[in-house]
Amino acid sequence: MDTPEHLDEGIDLEDKQAVFTLGVTSKLADVPAHSIRQYIDMGLIIPFKLESKRHLFSKRDLARLKHIRELIHENGLNFAGVRTLMAMTPCWAIRKCNESDKHSCDAYKENFKPCWMASEKGKNCRNMDCRNCEVYHSLDQAGGIKSLLSTLL
């Protein structure tokens, strides 16, 4: 079975380029396909969607899936715990929202859903593709949320 490291040797892919199908992603990330579908339903990962409704994943998504798997299997969190951890990311501080934008955004008010799941977003994020947002990828960074918070405080 190919690993992402092995793929790097023969193919030069950008980390954000969505090229892996669900089946391939499942094998590369060592996460069952049904779990990946659950992660999508819970808002833990945002795959690229084709017009045919098929999902594609990038190398960055693979790393995120591995991190989610680690949080669940090694740290004992359940899906809701992972989603709540993601919801604690202060998107308004990262995106530098003003007070008016913060208070008009559901992500600022909601404690249990990450900002990319907010039904009403502030004008700073309204037309943004969440897959490419620094808030969405902040949990993927080394050190996790504590490292992120230390840079904001």
Q: Provide the angle, in degrees to the nearest 10, between the axes of the packed helices 59-73 and 79-87.
A: 120
Cα separation of 125 and 145, whole Å? Answer: 20
**Residue 120: half-sphere exposure toward Cβ, Cα within 13 Å:** 9
Say yes or no: 141 and 117 in one domain: yes
Q: Provide the angle, in degrees to the nearest 10, between the axes of the packed helices 59-73 and 22-29.
A: 50
Residues of the domain holding 29: 1-78
Q: Which residue has the tokens 């396909």?
A: 33
Residue that terminates a domain, selected from 54, 78, 102: 78
Q: How many domains is the chain built from?
A: 2
**Taking 60 as the threshold, does the pLDDT of residue 12 lie above it?**
no
83 within domain boundaries? no
**Taking 90 as the threshold, does the pLDDT of residue 7 lie above it?**
no
Residue that terminates a domain, selected from 78, 113, 137: 78
End-to-end CA distance of the chain: 43
Say yes or no: 107 and 140 in one domain: yes
Residue that terminates a domain, selected from 30, 48, 78: 78
Identify the residue with better confidence: 6 or 110. Answer: 110
* Average pLDDT across the chain, whole number: 84
Enter the tokens of residue 49.
């969607």
